[in-house]
With several copies, the nearest count.
Chain A
Amino acid sequence: MLIRVTSEPLDTAEAVAHVASPEAGAVNVFLGVVRDNNLGRRVDHLVYEAYDAMAEKVMREIAEEARERFGLLGCAVLHRTGRLEIGETSLLIAISSGHRAESFEGGHWLVNEIKKRVPVWKKEVWEDGEEWIEGPESLGKSQATAGQAGQ
């Protein structure tokens, strides 16, 4: 498994190479990318902050759990921190499996769990201000999902 929190750009080719396996029939790669807008507001850039050591630990736990649940062969999870411009990759996941269904289901599950449980925070910076985004975007300011992680 390749697990990393880093301020360096994330390299898709490295992650794909890491999960290669002669038994693998499917590789799924997910890139979380900085969008130029959120909830109708124009975003200039993002700043990601992580509790680095714990983030890697939780990412590893989630990856282990995904490997068991979905029978994954290889798994790479990388999260970038610091200032990210529009179009840059903040989250990179690559997994390999025997068949395609597990690769899609496992990848989707991984992203969802990472967004719920990994101690990383995102600050949106607009032309005229900035704000820490706290909690999953889909729930706005609610802490319902994040709250479950610690209970």
Chain B
Amino acid sequence: MNVTVLLFASLSDRAGLRRIELDYQPGDTVRSVCDRLMDAYPALRSFRPSLLYAVNEEYVRPGDSVPPGATLALIPPVSGG
């Protein structure tokens, strides 16, 4: 199974892509998936302190688990309205 990671706004501009598939690893959390992602895309590291996270369209905490097949969205500070 995979984990799908979605990127938006400045993050997606920096990475040059909007959607990444990573292999799921047993016990994956938001933090562990991010660690693997940042290893593959070191340019995203500087964004990490400001990010919020959503798993399957719900805000979650960095320690929360990411189930196999889930979609993890990396959410920079929002500016809608």
Contact = CB atoms under 8 A, between A and B. Distances in A.
Direct interface between A and B, CB < 8 A: yes
Interface of A: 32, 48-51, 53-55, 57, 79, 90-91, 100, 111, 114-123, 132-137, 143, 146-147, 149-151
Interface residues of B, number: 21
Contacts of A51: 6, 8, 54, 57, 73, 75
Given A54-B57, A150-B60, A134 B80 contact: no
Given A32-B81, A134-B77, 12 more contacts: A54-B54, A54-B73, A118-B78, A118-B80, A119-B54, A119-B73, A120-B80, A121-B78, A132-B76, A132-B79, A136-B77, A150-B54
Residue in B6, B13, B50 with the greatest tally of chain A CB atoms within 10 Å:
B50
A44 to B, nearest CB: 17
Chain B interface, >50% SS class: mixed
Interface string B38-61: 000000000000101110010111
B22 to A, nearest CB: 18
Interface string B1-45: 000001011100100000000000000000000000000000000
B29 to A, nearest CB: 14
B9 A116 contact: no
